[in-house]
Amino acid sequence: MRERNGYRTDLVLTKIEFDDYIVTSIRNLPLKELFFIDDWYIDRLITNWRRTYLDSEYRQYIAGLLTVPKDVKILDIDLLLWFVVRRIVDELIISLAEGFYYDEMESVIGERIHFEPFNHHKDAVVDEHKVRYFLDVLDTVYDRVDKGHDTLSWIREVVNPDYLI
């Protein structure tokens, strides 16, 4: 990639350059320090992204470049690529939260959750009774029942009226 005055002059990257830019950007972020995670977790994130989304992300990148209007004078390609990096970091955060990384992949309700970034397992079912128990504990801790609005009703309003029926 050529640079002039700190700006990239090549707008169209090859798939290899695109992949290299994204992976280098992720590795340059202080993810280990922020989330206290090991290198293998970041490697797994990158590997799963490459396997699952690299092709589609690259196609979206090329399609986006092809649809830029002719009257555009400046295009910040680094910002466009940063959005891809941001989606990958968002997936890392979600996987840490849903996978309960800090509790060795065991949820607060005692379920073993097998979670891979960009590879959500559809067969990993959590016991409904343990979920209800956990919600009851939340209601007790935050005194929600006495205030007239329990957690399960709130979730049903936001997510789905048939949740856990």
**CA–CA distance, 151 with 154 (Å, rounded to integer):** 5
Q: What is the pLDDT along the chain (165 residues), one digit of tens a residue?
A: 445 455 555 778 999 999 999 999 999 998 888 777 888 889 989 999 999 999 999 999 999 888 988 898 888 888 889 889 988 988 887 777 665 444 455 555 555 555 556 655 555 555 667 667 766 766 776 666 666 677 677 667 666 677 666
Q: Which pTM value belongs to this model?
A: 0.58
- How far is 22 from 88, CA to CA, in rounded Å? 9
pLDDT for the residue numbered 101: 46
- pLDDT of 99 reads 56
What single string gives the DSSP state of each residue in the chain? --EETTEE---S--HHHHHHHHHHHHHHS-HHHHHT--HHHHHHHHHHHHHHTHHHHHHHHHHHHHT--TT-----HHHHHHHHHHHHHHHHHHHHHHHTGGGTTB-TTS-B---BTTB--SS-PPPHHHHHHHHHHHHHHTTTTTTT--HHHHHHHHT-TTTT-
